[in-house]
Amino acid sequence: MVHSRTLDGRSLRFGHRGWLWKNAYINYDLETDSLWHHQTGWAMAGPLRGKALARFPTVLTTWATWRAEHPLTLVLPKPRNDPRPSDRDVYAERNAALVFGLGVDLPGAFRLYRFADLAAAGGIVQETVDDIPLVVGADPEGRTAFAFDRRVDDAVIDFDLDATDDTVPLLRERGGARAWSLRSGRPVGSPGTDARLRPLQSAHWETYAWERQHPTGTRWMRDSARESVPTRGR
């Protein structure tokens, strides 16, 4: 997760003492010594308890997929004295035994879409959660997924996922001519609209970690999907 350090007009500086809460790192700020949940950005204790840092949109994907979407990206160089390999994923063996998904944060609900469940559903899920009609589409090449609000020009749209091997995955309007990039929400060769799809706040999660950090959250499952999911309190 990436958060802004600016809160109420003040720039905070953060540190980490190695403390954990339900397997999540807890940071502190040097200005007030408040304790912050590093994933949610909420202050859990101290003078700033209850405050929240603004979160920047991020995506966990392959380097090739990211570079295709952002060709001018600069990369922070690795320190010369760092002995760890940079040409392979040192966590690949561990991660192979874990189950990952996309966690979507809405104003009144948390919802997890496991990548395996998305694949079983044909790569796309459309439903209404917390009164928000949403679509979640899988990006197999990028090894991730994206979530958007399905409302465009005050109308709720149904989509089909076009994820051929030689193109950027697209969300195509069912029965219409318009299409949008799954990775950015930008319209692609679509006459009749300049509107982008509104991305929903979401993040790549390991399932067990998501469940521990979102005890009131729900998980989408194909055999129990409903048209509408009720609001869940934070």
Q: Looking at residue 163, which CATH number applies to its domain?
A: 2.102.10.10
- Average pLDDT (91-101) is 90
Tell me, yes or no, whether 140 and 190 share the same domain: yes
Residue 225 predicted with pLDDT over 70:
no
Contact (CB, 8 A) for 134 and 142:
no
State the pLDDT at residue 191: 64
Tell me, yes or no, whether 98 and 41 share the same domain: no
- Average pLDDT (187-209) is 88
Tell me, yes or no, whether 178 and 110 share the same domain: yes
Q: Which residues pair with 81 in a beta bridge?
A: none
- Residue carrying the six token digits 């300049």: 194
Does residue 121 belong to any structural domain of this protein?
yes
Q: How far is CA 42 from the centre of its chain?
A: 17
Ramachandran angles phi, psi of 41, nearest 5°: 80, 10
Tell me, yes or no, whether 110 and 17 share the same domain: no
Q: Which CA distances in Å does 75 have to 5, 89, 204?
A: 21, 17, 21
Domain hosting residue 36, numbered range: 2-56
State the pLDDT at residue 190: 62
Contact (CB, 8 A) for 81 and 92:
no
- Residue carrying the six token digits 């129990």: 224
Collect all residues with Cβ–Cβ distance below 8 Å to 94 and sequence separation of at least 6: none
Tell me, yes or no, whether 124 and 181 share the same domain: yes
Q: What is the mean pLDDT of the chain?
A: 90
Q: What letter represents residue 232's amino acid?
A: R
5 pLDDT band, cuts 50/70/90, is very high
Does residue 82 belong to any structural domain of this protein?
no
177 pLDDT band, cuts 50/70/90, is confident
233 pLDDT band, cuts 50/70/90, is very low
Total number of domains constituting the chain:
2
Residue 166 predicted with pLDDT over 80:
no
Tell me, yes or no, whether 51 and 101 share the same domain: no
23 pLDDT band, cuts 50/70/90, is confident
